[in-house]
Amino acid sequence: MNEQVPEAMSWSTENCTISRTMEILGDKWTFHVLRELFVGVRRFEDIRTRAGVPRQVLTDRLAALIERGLIRRHPYRLPGQRERYEYRLTQAGLDLYPVLVAMIQWGDQYLPLDGGPPIEARHRGDCNAHVTVVLRCEAGHEPTPRDVVLRPGPTAKPRALAG
């Protein structure tokens, strides 16, 4: 372990899980769209007006999210109108909840508003308690961020070092 060359410099980012996840989520609008679905807004026009997404971008992102399996189209019909489609989270989409909650938690801590948060994650039903996210290791400890390290896993690819 030489401080001059961090260990990470010797492996590649090519197949990095974070990169691959960000291919799907790492876009300004995609996350806005997901937020709408998480709070229960599922229709094209509603998502568009509430999130302020340009129509074309919304069309595009919805298609991408369907293709990636995070959401699916679901038919509905308002009385006196023709059948249309709304968009709902799949299990894969729902499983992004920890990411969302972690972001809200960070925002509440570092970008607080006077008077409290504008949005809260709560345990559904009678409990109704505030929900947060905690780091936990398989041995049952709950390490602080400083006690966590990111290390190369079994499929980490070596990387040619310049020089």
Partner DNA sequence: TGGCTGAGTCTGTCAAGCGGACTTATCCTG
Partner DNA sequence: CAGGATAAGTCCGCTTGACAGACTCAGCCA
List the interface residues with DNA, window 39-68 (CB under 7 A). Answer: 43-46, 52-57, 59-60, 62
Q: Please report, for residues 32, 34, 44, 74, 87, the alpha-carbon distance to residue 84 in angstroms, rounded to integers and kept in the order given.
A: 22, 20, 10, 8, 10
85 scored as a contact of a copy of itself (CB under 8 A)? no
Find tokens 């780091």 and name the residue.
135
How far apart CA 25 and CA 138 sit, in angstroms, is 27
Binding residues among 19-38 for a copy of itself as defined by CB under 8 A: 19-22, 25-28, 31-32, 35-36, 38
Give the distance between the most distant pair of CA atoms in the chain.
Answer: 71
CA atoms within 13 A on the CB side of 33: 31
Binding residues among 65-84 for a copy of itself as defined by CB under 8 A: 69, 78
Q: What stretch of H or E contains 74? A: strand 71-77
Binding residues among 116-135 for DNA as defined by CB under 7 A: none
Q: Which one, of 36, 33, 34, 45, lies nearest residue 81 by Cα?
A: 45
Binding residues among 1-20 for DNA as defined by CB under 7 A: none
Binding residues among 99-118 for a copy of itself as defined by CB under 8 A: 99-111, 113-118
Minimum distance from CB of 52 to DNA (Å)?
A: 7
Minimum distance from CB of 57 to a copy of itself (Å)?
A: 14
Binding residues among 35-54 for a copy of itself as defined by CB under 8 A: 35-36, 38-42, 46, 49-52
Q: Interface with DNA by CB under 7 A: which residues?
A: 27-29, 43-46, 52-57, 59-60, 62, 78-86, 163
